[in-house]
Structure 1
Amino acid sequence: MKLLRIVLVLLLPAVSSCLPCRRRDDYDYDSIFSFGDSFADTGNGAVVFAEHSLFSPATKPPYGMTFFGQPTGRNSNGRLIIDFIAEKLGLPFVPPYLAHFVLNTSSSVQLGWFDSLKPSLCSPAQECKDFFHKSLFFMGEFGVNDYSFSVFGKTPLEVRSMVPDVVKTISSATERIIKRDGAKAVVVPGIPPLGCMPPNLAMFPSTDPAGYEPGTGCLRQFNEIAVYHNTLLQDAIKNVQKNHPDVRVIYADFFTPVIRIVQSPGTFGFTSDILRCCCGGGGKYNFNMSAGCGMPGATVCEDPSTHLFWDGHMTEAAYHFIADGWLNSINES
């Protein structure tokens, strides 16, 4: 899966280590390792694409306006899910691992970069084993970019056919950090409803009204792909858990909290124009590739906390709501 490999390179890995830190509640983790795409990126993309402003708008205002007061490379107005989880665990924010960006290398080579980081974290081998036993690993979210990018030139049916391979890649990577690195707690997030995301709504409109879900206004076929992915992923996670009964392998639901907000935005304090980006360059969904957030021609809403979507990614308010659900899953598993 070439696209998934590229994403792994981009964000491999981000680590937040705080050995003296003590837990605030029932959690007991000394560090966080996060593998993921732009929903979890705390600044790697800004470095990787530093010379390509089209791909690094998160380095410019109004990104970061709500919490940090300046751009940090996060694709949001403030904190991400991983930030809220780190805060809850009493750990510092996860910094970016400024990895080199290399195309067309195998996933084993890219995951090998994680190995290159280990000597700076722990040694000898036994100490590393103990260190990773007390770490919380996030394997994803992965899949959004694979499916969204693949729509260019592929039918929805062809994109759907990719799902088993994407899920297999995620489960294999999860097995790898358990077997090779000794991970004892791995969170594997699903993907959000692809059909509700403003970039997909703006770029792939349906000519048939039946192509939209009546209760949400989201693209039906895109959401069906997301549901299919999440179903297969949960089955794969159960198999990984069965293979490693002494490890906590936790599914994090990304789909349900987002769809709940879309279906009933007022209940959660969001605007009724729920599928529209807070920051963007106009159009029905306020999403425009040539005038994206942080670029000339873009505008920003008055109150991002009332919006689900920031620039196609989500707002800090939305991430906070999603993070609460993930923390419950981590605590209960």
Structure 2
Amino acid sequence: MELELLFSLVFLLLVRISGASSGSRNITSMFTLGDSYIDTGNFVIMAAPVIPVWIDKPPYGETFFGRPSGRPSDGRVIIDFIAEELGLPFLPASLANSSDDVSRGVNFAVGGATAIDVGFFERNSLAPFKLLNNSLDVQLAWFEKLRPSLCNTTEDSRGCFSKSLFIVGEFGVNDYNFIWMANKTEGEVRSYVPKVVKTIALAVESSSSSSDRPAELIDDGAAYVVVPGNPPTGCSPTVLTLRRSPDAADYDRVSCLRGVNDVARHHNALLRAAVGGLRARHPRATIIFADFYEPIRKILENSGQFGVVAGDVLKACCGAGGGAYNWNSSAVCGMPGVAACRDPSAYVSWDGLHFTEAVNHYVAKGWLHGPYADPPILRAIHH
């Protein structure tokens, strides 16, 4: 009887080990581009010599790392959970120049990054300050520079990245936020959506701006590409504070700003259609649309089910000023005297702009297992 029990326990253990490693057998590395939602330290490295930075100060990182880690959250960001699921290490920030083994993945995402090149915003007076040069095309150039160290130049790079997962985004939130901050109307902001979406779609096809190397990211490398849409930025404590309106009609039933979210939804609709076009042109690649909007709305609209106090659903956990959003531009998270809430997992927003680790985990699960990805990542890589 004891022997049978021992065999049963060993069998169950083997099943669990097999299940945990199945993803890593199909995906051996992950490369990510994006903005602050998935940044793991690049913004701190890039911005600290130029402007004041607060995300490298406590209480950032308190939930998981016990210290600031360069991530704009109380703990892990979305790609950390995806890496864990795939049996990969946390991705090092590309600008860190660390001794980490880059063959298993690198994160090129930088806080504040735009899809459109920064020169466009400066030339059209759409940026209220000097922007860091960290847009999508710049991140792709960083990837290109690293490529020789990832692939043997004598081998077909298709084979080099055939077991790599690429995440291109989220992009677009900063593009639109800069235009909103330039006091443009909803119609004017909406008019930029096709340009943003086209920029993202072109990046998915090509990791080089050179016209003589078309469709490189897919045709010459990536077999699996995830393209996330925009979250409902009209529910962000920062946006809600900066664009506060006296007109009740400007707010939806969760008290988010309708116009800002309408632009996000329009972006997502066009991006989803663009992904469909990419699939038709590149049937050998697996291109996944990751929904960033619906999981956040799900939590906001069903706060009780997620342990979020209804009255705090639109408040920042770490912030100052109290009120409906607990966000103050002159006393942001990380500044001296600005405190975090006791339980970040009971909040949606960590610092007014970014999500708590609990929310990041929920989004990652939805992308990995469904229902917030088409197709779910794990289903796609095991197909």
Conservation of the 8 A alpha-carbon contact between 2:77 and 2:361: yes
Alignment-mate amino acid for residue 72 of structure 1: S
Partner residue, 2:55: 58
1:137 to 152, 166, 172: 166
Partner residue, 2:358: 317
* Counterparts of 2:148 and 2:205, CA distance in 1: 22
1:251 to 280, 285, 289: 289
Partner residue, 1:186: 225
Conservation of the 8 A alpha-carbon contact between 2:227 and 2:288: yes
Summarize the alignment of residues 282-293 of structure 1 with structure 2, pairs less than 5 Å apart.
282-284=321-323, 285-293=325-333
Conservation of the 8 A alpha-carbon contact between 2:23 and 2:87: no
Deviates more, 1:135-144 or 1:275-284: 275-284
Partner of 2:305, secondary structure, is helix
Partner residue, 1:218: 256
CA-based RMSD of the aligned residues comes to 2.1
Conservation of the 8 A alpha-carbon contact between 1:64 and 1:72: yes
Alignment-mate amino acid for residue 37 of structure 2: F
Question: Scaled by the length of structure 1, what TM-score is found?
Answer: 0.88
Alignment-mate amino acid for residue 273 of structure 2: D
Deviates more, 1:180-189 or 1:34-43: 180-189
Give the direction of change, closer, same or farther, for the CA distance of 1:140–1:131 in structure 2 (3 Å limit).
Answer: same
CA displacement at 1:183 relative to structure 2? 0.6
2:338 to 291, 298, 301: 298
Partner of 1:151, secondary structure, is helix
* Counterparts of 1:195 and 1:130, CA distance in 2: 42
* Counterparts of 1:121 and 1:205, CA distance in 2: 48
Could you give the per-residue CA deviations for residues 144-192 of structure 1, whole angstroms, max 9, x where no partner exists?
1111121122112111111110000000000114931421100000010
**Percent identity of paired positions between Structure 1 and Structure 2:** 49
2:82 to 80, 85, 103: 85
Could you give the per-residue CA deviations for residues 231-283 of structure 1, whole angstroms, max 9, x where no partner exists?
00000000000000010000001000000111111111222111100001224
* Counterparts of 1:305 and 1:269, CA distance in 2: 8
Conservation of the 8 A alpha-carbon contact between 1:167 and 1:233: yes
Deviates more, 1:77-86 or 1:285-294: 285-294
Give the direction of change, closer, same or farther, for the CA distance of 1:87–1:26 in structure 2 (3 Å limit).
Answer: closer
Q: How many residues align?
A: 310
Partner residue, 1:32: 30
Question: Scaled by the length of structure 2, what TM-score is found?
Answer: 0.77
Conservation of the 8 A alpha-carbon contact between 1:132 and 1:183: yes
CA displacement at 1:125 relative to structure 2? 4.2
Alignment-mate amino acid for residue 259 of structure 2: Q
Partner residue, 1:176: 206
Could you give the per-residue CA deviations for residues 201-224 of structure 1, whole angstroms, max 9, x where no partner exists?
01001120010002x110010110
* Counterparts of 1:327 and 1:295, CA distance in 2: 35
* Counterparts of 1:108 and 1:258, CA distance in 2: 28
* Counterparts of 1:115 and 1:184, CA distance in 2: 17
Partner of 2:44, secondary structure, is helix
Conservation of the 8 A alpha-carbon contact between 1:291 and 1:298: yes
Partner residue, 1:12: none
* Counterparts of 2:177 and 2:153, CA distance in 1: 42
CA displacement at 1:313 relative to structure 2? 0.3
Deviates more, 1:173-182 or 1:247-256: 173-182
* Counterparts of 2:265 and 2:118, CA distance in 1: 29
Partner residue, 1:161: 191
Partner of 1:166, secondary structure, is helix
Deviates more, 1:175-184 or 1:262-271: 175-184
* Counterparts of 1:23 and 1:200, CA distance in 2: 40
CA displacement at 1:296 relative to structure 2? 2.3
Alignment-mate amino acid for residue 34 of structure 2: G
Partner residue, 1:121: 150
Conservation of the 8 A alpha-carbon contact between 1:278 and 1:304: yes
CA displacement at 1:53 relative to structure 2? 5.2
Gaps of 5+ in 1: 1-21
Partner residue, 1:17: none
Partner of 2:95, secondary structure, is coil
Partner residue, 2:211: none
